[in-house]
Structure 1
Amino acid sequence: MPAIVRIPEKPLEKAYDYIVIGAGSGGCPVVRRLIDDTEATVLLIEAGEAGIGIREIDDPAEWVPLGRSRFDWGYDYAPAPHAKDRVIGIPRGKALGGSSAINALMWYRGHPLDYDAWDAAGATGWTFQDVLPYFKRCEDWEGGETEFRGAGGPLKITTSKTLHPIAQAMMDGAGELGIPVIDDPNGATNEGATPSNFNVFEGRRWSSANGYLFPILDNPRLTILTGSLTTGLIIENGRCVGVRHVVDGRTVETCATSEVVLAAGAIDTPRLMMLSGIGNARDLGDLGIPVVADLPGVGANLQDHPLIQAFVFRAAQPLGPKTDNGGGTMLNWKSRPGLAQADVHAFPVQGNSAEPPLRARYDMAGEVFSLGFGLMHSKSVGYMRMLSADPRGPLELQPNYLAEPSDLEALVSAYHTIMDLASTPAYRDLIAGTAAPDRPLNEREVIDFIRDGCSTFFHPCGTCKMGNDEMAVTDPRLKVRGIDGLRITDASVIPVIPTCNTHAPVTMIGERAADFLKEDA
């Protein structure tokens, strides 16, 4: 990476071979591989600003305030019926790097069975063995190349140099409960307590922009346009031939001679599709949008992991400065015996991470730390819906958290495991008492605590799923059904949510999409 990173100013041409919309985890790999491996010209359009040289972005410990900053789209989930009709914010990155520029810096790809489930759901050819080479291609893993890990790739991946005491306690306490302690969650299994993998290098965030874009900024075939909102796709005779986007306050049209690649994320990719007449014909008609392609799956199948924020404990000793991303380790285990893979997840927080209803109910004054926990194998499914034909208009984003009874049951089980974890000798010198909850709860109160603490892991996906059924929006090569020259390479194509943060799988999707584009050129 150059010492001083800048985006070269270039005139906007009338046409490029490829146009990529969105500079996040799925878009950046596509751009990099097209520039490195072909002679194509590429235009990358990003609605946000560059976000280069911003202390809050660069500092791993300062990621939380990036939500609701100018680098966040500012979306909210609609009132959640099973979470007391609370409005839950859903941060989405708005800068080069997309959400990898504002997320918790986690590099985590879940369990091999997650990807076998994609194949079984109709995304044929996406088993773990199919996608493992693309995961490895992404990585520059501090431990070097192994059967499961890659080295020399664009994304730096490291672990904590010195675990914070509350992070170390999670690993030690898990061992005392009989939960495995493992070296690497991105190996043959993710079950157990383990140091987290971070996109951090030399103490700074290493986003998709750092890894994939910054080394090629001066390539003459690449044009990067920031601050440009894409408002529509240009479809002619069943083919996407370009895009409409805003440049300096006016709408322009730019053509793509090969393909347009949508990588705007699980919210803005389906929105752009619907704005362009691609979606559920009935819904488009209600908004007065002419139908170009009736694809009822656009906006359906919204999935996200419910996160319960959080158990809060009074610290028995000063916590000191934040280290890593404010966490450092994580824990994956089974909510009940007999499951094929771990389904629940927990992590430490070097501070107070409780949701507002819990902050209002409990006294959390003084120095505290938290244990967040959530469900990574969630079954509840929601939807997204446009409420206006305005490209900047309101959306209804409904994840339907806790709608499936099995999701709530798993979280109740996880609650009790976290209580047991905090009671192990590993935490004896760290906990001076409980703040939230401040006493043992009965089963009804546990459910109430979960509903009050329900939040998001920031993992929306599935809204333009790939597959082969009538609700599939793309085929397994990520081509939009019924429209030539249009492909999707972001979290919206995920058919079944994996048991992990979505940055890693979406980066893998982008890497694989680049191969598809090159093969189909």
Structure 2
Amino acid sequence: MPRAAPDRPAPDASDATEGAEEYDYVIVGGGTAGCVLANRLSADPACRVLLLEAGGSDRYHWVQIPVGYLYCIGNPRVDWMMKTAPEPGLGGRSLVYPRGKVLGGCSSINGMIYMRGQAADYDGWRQMGNTGWGWDDVLPYFRRSEAHHAGETPLHGADGEWPVSTQRVGWDILRAVQAGAAEFGWHPTDDFNAGSNEGTGFFEVNQRRGLRWNTTRAFLRPAMRRRNLRVLTGALTERLLLDGRRVTGVAYRHRGRARLALARAEVLLAAGAINSPKLLELSGIGQPDRLAALGIAPRHDLPGVGENLQDHLQIRTVFKVSGTTTLNELSHSMTARLRMAAQFALTRSGPLSMAPSQFGMFTRSDPALATPDLEYHVQPLSTDRLGDPLHRFPAITVSVCNLRPESVGHCHITRNDADPQPEIVLNYLSAPRDRQVTVTAIRQARRLMTARALARHEPREFLPGPKVQSEAELVEAAGRIATTIFHPVGTCKMGQDRSAVVAPDLRVHGLGGLRVVDASIMPRIVSGNTASPVIMIAEKAADMILGRD
């Protein structure tokens, strides 16, 4: 049942609430976490729930067709179209930084890979003082959501809303890569999600019958039949309403009109690792001097807001191959394109059903490490840079990322305005160890291509190029070819120290009536893809909100 709101003094004049609508819970952000929260909280018919999403509907064919991610990223219909600040470690480049501006959020435009990370990630969170967030604590929440293709096991659930499927396309060249990896001791695993993701295998994906299954389809749409859940799209939240040290609701804009919504129990901020700290700062919550300089009256001193930004940087090595088929050649043949379209239309399989990455490997950059710190995404395609046409020659991309980067950035607003994106600074490759791991990763990828199992395909390095050999040259080359793998986290980190923004129950330190529930609360980035960990966070948050945890 929703908590009763405490007696409050009259709110500040700036937060006047005359004419506001009242709900028990107001959820800001209809993305990966927000859809889960809306489902779980509205399951109690006594709770009135409002979900505000700034983007539009996900009923768009390129959202549903898996390969449509190519047409969603960089599309203002579904993408916030953000960019990073120029990155010194990447030769001064500013990266395109996709964020979902659509129901389902990034689960509507991401790579669909189902990955939990490692047990040690969550045990590390617990050791940092975040009680209740160890692997044994979070595993039941992963299982709760899961509809795993292999059925119910101690590690996997079968009755949840979040489908986990095998891919419906195969490539001979990727099977050859797996055989080659075994020559170097990187052996197949049948489950990347058992707590240790070490090994090689074909990624499981969040699809159903060959279609993308985002959190809108999985969690939100079934709940929208409930009369106690209201979902508004095109609703841009501009600030939180504060009454002293309690958040009482939100101010938002919908169809050109300024609106207010009050939360009798709590406001749940689920706008993601970029937009959640942005909204806190626009509301006067953050570093007082920074906010005052922008003309924002500081309301609550919380220095960690927008700090601790972490992401996975992807080093995209490319190798030409022969004696096999890749998507490169198929994409430039009208006959092949028509054949692929027909295959998908008739069977929901083939290249149009494929995730951006099909084959993965988790390895160590140093044998002394306890768990893998490198993740490979191997793809039967290549391009000079993301968004460009595929090459006309057959090739594969052997992408590798450092799972536990030490480089940390920040995300802060630069104007007192809800529309512009904040400044996003990742500081990629600024930490010496990150540069060292990058050099090791490129050399490891090159070694993989020398496997006997790949000899008949004659791999020939195209990027960064065989002439790049010294450590300095490899670091500089990585800066030219690397890009984000779209996993920002940490900007409202969970913890008990001065820089923490939320406590282990996800309540914002020093404020009542407000929790943050999204990737921003991760104190350290997980060792893998981030979508399903965010669903776990939302599942656990719902139990805490409803007093079940």
TM-score interval for Structure 1 and Structure 2 normalised by the shorter chain: over 0.9
**Alignment partner of 1:87: what SS?**
coil
Aligned to 2:53: 46
Closer/same/farther in 2, CA of residues 325 and 431 from structure 1, 3 Å limit: farther
Aligned to 2:367: 337
> Can you give the 5+ residue segments of structure 2 that lack an aligned partner in the other structure?
1-18, 331-339, 341-350
8 A contact 2:81–2:99 mirrored in 1: yes
User: Given the alignment of the two structures, is residue 352 of structure 1 paired with residue 382 of structure 2, yes or no?
Assistant: yes
Q: How does 1:71-220 map to 2 (within 5 A)?
A: 71-220=78-227
**Alignment partner of 1:79: what SS?**
coil
How far apart are 1:241 and its partner, in Å? 1.1
**Alignment partner of 1:413: what SS?**
helix
Residues 354-386 of structure 1: CA distance to partner in whole angstroms, max 9, x if unpaired?
4379x99xx954333311111111111111111
Percent identical among aligned pairs is: 35
User: Given the alignment of the two structures, is residue 514 of structure 1 paired with residue 520 of structure 2, yes or no?
Assistant: no
- Give 1:45's aligned amino acid: L
Aligned to 1:243: 250
8 A contact 1:84–1:452 mirrored in 2: yes
User: Given the alignment of the two structures, is residue 420 of structure 1 paired with residue 450 of structure 2, yes or no?
Assistant: no
Q: Quote the Cα distance in structure 1 between the aligned partners of 2:83 and 2:322.
A: 32
Aligned to 1:504: 532
8 A contact 2:265–2:513 mirrored in 1: yes
Q: Quote the Cα distance in structure 1 between the aligned partners of 2:304 and 2:517.
A: 16
User: Given the alignment of the two structures, is residue 267 of structure 1 paired with residue 271 of structure 2, yes or no?
Assistant: no
Closer/same/farther in 2, CA of residues 162 and 191 from structure 1, 3 Å limit: same
Alignment equivalent of 2:520, drawn from 478, 492, 508: 492
- Give 1:391's aligned amino acid: A
8 A contact 2:26–2:266 mirrored in 1: yes
Q: Quote the Cα distance in structure 2 between the aligned partners of 1:415 and 1:432.
A: 15
Q: Quote the Cα distance in structure 2 between the aligned partners of 1:34 and 1:314.
A: 52
| TM-score (norm: length of structure 1) | 0.93
Aligned to 2:74: 68
8 A contact 1:62–1:325 mirrored in 2: no
How far apart are 1:309 and its partner, in Å? 2.1
Aligned to 1:455: 483
Q: Quote the Cα distance in structure 2 between the aligned partners of 1:195 and 1:264.
A: 31
Closer/same/farther in 2, CA of residues 438 and 364 from structure 1, 3 Å limit: farther
Root-mean-square deviation over aligned CA pairs: 2.1
Aligned to 1:325: 355
- Give 1:267's aligned amino acid: I
- Give 1:182's aligned amino acid: T
- Give 1:401's aligned amino acid: Y
Q: Quote the Cα distance in structure 2 between the aligned partners of 1:76 and 1:493.
A: 22
> Can you give the 5+ residue segments of structure 1 that lack an aligned partner in the other structure?
1-11
8 A contact 2:82–2:421 mirrored in 1: no
Aligned to 1:410: 437
Residues 8-52 of structure 1: CA distance to partner in whole angstroms, max 9, x if unpaired?
xxxx98111111111112111111111224520111100000121
- Give 1:32's aligned amino acid: N
Aligned to 1:9: none
Q: Quote the Cα distance in structure 1 between the aligned partners of 2:508 and 2:433.
A: 33
Q: Quote the Cα distance in structure 2 between the aligned partners of 1:13 and 1:282.
A: 31
- Give 1:338's aligned amino acid: A
Q: Quote the Cα distance in structure 2 between the aligned partners of 1:397 and 1:13.
A: 33
How far apart are 1:258 and its partner, in Å? 1.0
- Give 1:337's aligned amino acid: P
Out of 74-83 and 168-177, give the one that drifted further. 168-177
Aligned to 1:4: none
Out of 418-427 and 234-243, give the one that drifted further. 418-427
